[in-house]
Chains A and B, each alone.
Chain A
């Protein structure tokens, strides 16, 4: 497989405004985040300022602008999952991994509270490194995390 570089990723897109978001998404997905250098190249290619590329990138949840921890755990805390006890799952993860939701104090794990993914009938919903787990319980949680530890 050819190694993906920022250059050959952006060349997949025509330099039009409507491709800025798709290109950023792709860069973030391939490299894990959009770096300072990527923003510079993007700005040049699309003919807009770096600040504009960065403000767009930093707005969206799916585009990361900083290096992500090894294991990113996201738990939905919107109303439906809350009714299905997602808060107890959040505190269970906090206690188990000794981290706080939203804090990036640990370089290995990060726990984030996220908004609804539209899987409310099967809540609470947890996402680990992009993989979605439904109907998470305190006991199933440990099994899931076990695979990543």
Chain B
């Protein structure tokens, strides 16, 4: 099963800007199947059966999300989340670079399955080249009647629009993303109501990560059951992993979920870079956990009972030559800058952690700071408004708790 590829199958083999290339390898047959032989309920059922869960980090079951919005009536939206500003993560960018039509097909099917009249692609403001690629492929697909009025002669219609972000990490959070399209500050909104019942402009909205969506055509073509037996039982499928730092071959690899970190480093990324000594690995971006050597056999999956939540799928391998002081400042500076500033623990707490990290580097850390660290980490974990705040202290906590830094 190791070699099954769903997303990266045709990377480098087809010209991403040629729709014919994609069609020649079976592209848009899932959409054809959807409009001719299936109905939205059946499609959602297949997606539910597949067990596909969100690849952005939270791992929410995709089929359930689509089902919730499908149930609602009236104006609805589908949003493809391509904000991707999690540090160390660029998998969605690669999806667009290498096979944008696969993503587009997934967007069209997902949007139609929930009965949305309009789909937005919310793309990271820095991804200018990727925006151009999407503009080209969207036009190509329109000419072939894959979207627009009466898709492939059916009763289905859909509008697609690209919305470019303006640089704010928090906009990857779905309610913040919605706020951003609505012309507001990209702050998370209070839940409930969840976007699935009241999202963009108050209408039911499904927001899904670009990688998640790219799995949809395969599921529609091959059936949910076939997908559900790939990888880990609780969160099946394949996942794009990004290995960076002190590995021999850094890059993006597709592997089944449930794979261990060790296997990813050794078998996919060519092991630790020559001359470097492994120290720890950070899993899933800025808010990710740290794993020591003895913990590398942790399985990468989503879900409540998982050994190690794989987050966005990025794995940063840190070797012993890295200055941990710099890294502590990097983590804390990131959150102090990217916090939306709305709630007290996140706005003030992340700032204080950054201050303490700087004092630590300068050798000026006091007993007062050591006590404060515990308090801040606790309040971040327990009292913040949104998940960004909750996870803002994860890396710092692990660094202290696992003895990576000693005061």
Chain A interface residues (CB < 8 Å from chain B) = 17-22, 24-25, 46, 48, 52, 55-56, 59-63, 77-80, 82-83, 87, 113, 115-121
Scan B165-181; emit 1 where CB is below 8 A from any A CB, else 0. 11111000000000011
Scan B225-250; emit 1 where CB is below 8 A from any A CB, else 0. 00000000000000000101110001
Query: How many whole Å from B161's CB to the nearest CB in chain A?
Result: 9
From the candidates A48, A82, A118, name the one contacting B93 in the complex (CB within 8 A).
A118
- Interface core residue of B86, B93, B330, B337 (most chain A CB under 10 Å): B330
Does A62 contact B244, Cβ atoms closer than 8 Å? no
297-351 of chain B: CB within 8 A of chain A: 314, 316, 318, 322-323, 326-327, 329-331, 333-334, 337-338, 340
Does A79 contact B183, Cβ atoms closer than 8 Å? no
Assign chain B's interface to a size class.
Answer: 35 or more
Does A17 contact B182, Cβ atoms closer than 8 Å? yes
From the candidates B126, B183, B333, name the one contacting A56 in the complex (CB within 8 A).
B183
Kindly state the separation between the CA atoms of A95 and B41 in the bound complex, as whole angstroms: 63
Kindly state the separation between the CA atoms of A104 and B165 in the bound complex, as whole angstroms: 26
Kindly state the separation between the CA atoms of A115 and B286 in the bound complex, as whole angstroms: 10
Kindly state the separation between the CA atoms of A54 and B88 in the bound complex, as whole angstroms: 31
Query: How many whole Å from B374's CB to the nearest CB in chain A?
Result: 23
Does A116 contact B87, Cβ atoms closer than 8 Å? yes
Query: How many whole Å from B12's CB to the nearest CB in chain A?
Result: 16
Given known A-B contacts A18-B181, A21-B181, A24-B166, A79 and B125 have beta carbons under 8 A apart: no
Query: How many whole Å from A101's CB to the nearest CB in chain B?
Result: 10
Does A20 contact B87, Cβ atoms closer than 8 Å? no
From the candidates B87, B181, B340, name the one contacting A115 in the complex (CB within 8 A).
B87
- What are 26 contact pairs spanning A and B, CB under 8 A? A22-B164, A24-B166, A25-B125, A48-B183, A56-B184, A56-B185, A59-B185, A60-B125, A61-B125, A77-B329, A78-B334, A79-B330, A80-B87, A82-B322, A83-B244, A87-B323, A113-B333, A116-B85, A116-B87, A118-B93, A120-B89, A120-B242, A121-B90, A121-B244, A121-B250, A121-B251
Answer whether residue B163 sits at the interface, using C-beta atoms and an 8 A cutoff.
yes
Does B183 contact A25, Cβ atoms closer than 8 Å? no
Query: How many whole Å from A90's CB to the nearest CB in chain B?
Result: 10
Kindly state the separation between the CA atoms of A62 and B85 in the bound complex, as whole angstroms: 14
Query: How many whole Å from B36's CB to the nearest CB in chain A?
Result: 33
